[in-house]
Amino acid sequence: KPGEQKHPKEPSSLQCMHLAVVACGDRLEETLIMLKSAVLFSNKRLCFHIFAEDSLKPEFEKKLKEWPSSYTKKFESSIYPITFSVGNAQEWKRLFKPCAAQRLFLPVILKDVDSLLYVDTDVLFLRPIDDIWHILKEFNSTQLAAMAPEHEIPKIGWYSRFARHPYYGTTGVNSGVMLMNLTRIRSTQFKNSLIAAGLTWEEMLYPLYQKYKNYITWGDQDLLNIIFYFNPECLYVFPCQWNYRPDHCMYGSNCRGAEQEGVSILHGNRGVYHDDKQPTFKALYEVIRDFPFEDNLFQSLYYPLQSKFLDTVHTLCGRVPQVFLKQIEKTMKKVYENRVIVYLGANHRY
């Protein structure tokens, strides 16, 4: 039914893994490639919540419809305008990058959604979203969101060296991949530096921004760090392989989880998909971008990736190719096995 995708309470959506992204300016292609990586490997149904400038909406709708039906049946999508429910919309827009502050309002806007994974546009999934979605079940009774540390080593971390505002833990957290239990966020009274009593998420956002706006550099990420500094019991910290950035290899490999298990979610911040500073990140982005949906994953994705990586061994990130390849290889084997089993099952009578 045409109206179904607008009602997150519909039965199909209850089985959904909800994924939110905010896209403005020239981020259309990057966002589509992130969504493509999510659909390529996921097992359970996905519900995309795309917050975009009005000018991008028709493009998103057109491009998503062009995907083959074997993939479009794995997700439903809703596209929303950029809106800020409290405070001054122009101020929120100016915070860090245009529209980035939108993510702070997801608990308020998506009232019918229980849990959600928010990602930046420059993220790529190298394994099923199902695996990070399971982390929601690991939350204890006070945890309502999960993020990875901003850095593994305090002495070279940004927050520990430069921050002029409170931040979570010893190195702060990075908000590019954020798992949220929205139901808990909406019902919690948060401790804060404004008044002695607790405040709801929505009540707290604008006054907190007003108090710290002259000290924040990384916009909404800084505000999240301030919130979880005052409410550390509310945050689950997941390991660096779930938000793997150039910082984890450009000074030498410092993400142990990725060395052991491989990168689960790649976060190409600093614009590395679009310049030549980190060719390993760019290679992954281009291979997923160019992968023809219906092709064999090993032939058209894994092998091109391996050969592109050979050209990056002169870089520090390129010296640890197994970090980038381990998880994606494992994931592709599973996808391949599932398809072969389904195919053989369908043809068993021969």
CATH for 230: 3.90.550.10
Question: Are residues 180 and 139 part of one domain?
Answer: yes
Domain boundary (219, 238, 257) is at 238
Question: Are residues 207 and 114 part of one domain?
Answer: yes
50 assigned to some structural domain: yes
Ramachandran category for residue 262: left, alpha or beta (phi over 0 → left; psi -120 to 50 → alpha)? left
98 assigned to some structural domain: yes
11 assigned to some structural domain: no
The torsion angles phi and psi of 87, rounded to 5 degrees, stand at 80, -160
The pLDDT of residue 342: 61
**pLDDT reading at 181 higher than 90:** yes
C-alpha separations of 240 from 143, 177, 248, 295 in Å = 19, 11, 8, 31
- What is residue 181's three-state secondary structure? strand
**pLDDT reading at 9 higher than 60:** no
The pLDDT of residue 2: 43
Domain boundary (238, 263, 279) is at 238
The torsion angles phi and psi of 188, rounded to 5 degrees, stand at -95, 145
The pLDDT of residue 11: 39
**pLDDT reading at 190 higher than 60:** yes
Q: Counting Cβ atoms within 10 Å, is residue 183 exposed (0-12), middle (13-18) or buried (19+)?
A: middle
Predicted TM-score (pTM) of the model is 0.91
2 assigned to some structural domain: no
The pLDDT of residue 98: 62
**pLDDT reading at 341 higher than 80:** no
pLDDT in tens, 204-225: 998 998 898 888 887 789 999 9
**pLDDT reading at 311 higher than 50:** yes
Question: Are residues 256 and 300 part of one domain?
Answer: yes
- Radius of gyration of the CA atoms of the chain, in A: 20
Question: Are residues 253 and 178 part of one domain?
Answer: no
Question: Are residues 250 and 192 part of one domain?
Answer: no
Question: Are residues 246 and 220 part of one domain?
Answer: no
The pLDDT of residue 96: 59
Domain count for the chain = 2
Average pLDDT over residues 155-178: 83
Question: Are residues 269 and 179 part of one domain?
Answer: no
Domain boundary (194, 222, 238) is at 238
Q: Which domain holds residue 246?
A: 241-347
Dist. CA 192–CA 186, nearest whole Å: 16
Structure tokens at 253: 């490999």
Place of tokens 């793997």: 244
Question: Are residues 251 and 105 part of one domain?
Answer: no
Helices (H), the chain: 11-14, 28-41, 57-65, 69-72, 89-94, 106-109, 129-133, 158-162, 182-187, 201-212, 220-230, 256-261, 279-290, 297, 303-310, 321-346
151 assigned to some structural domain: yes
Question: Are residues 223 and 104 part of one domain?
Answer: yes
Question: Are residues 208 and 259 part of one domain?
Answer: no
pLDDT in tens, 222-273: 999 999 999 999 999 999 999 999 999 988 899 999 999 999 999 999 899 9
User: Is 249:320 a contact under the CB 8 Å cutoff?
Assistant: yes
- What is residue 211's three-state secondary structure? helix
Length of the chain as a residue count:
350
Question: Are residues 197 and 82 part of one domain?
Answer: yes
Question: Are residues 290 and 232 part of one domain?
Answer: no
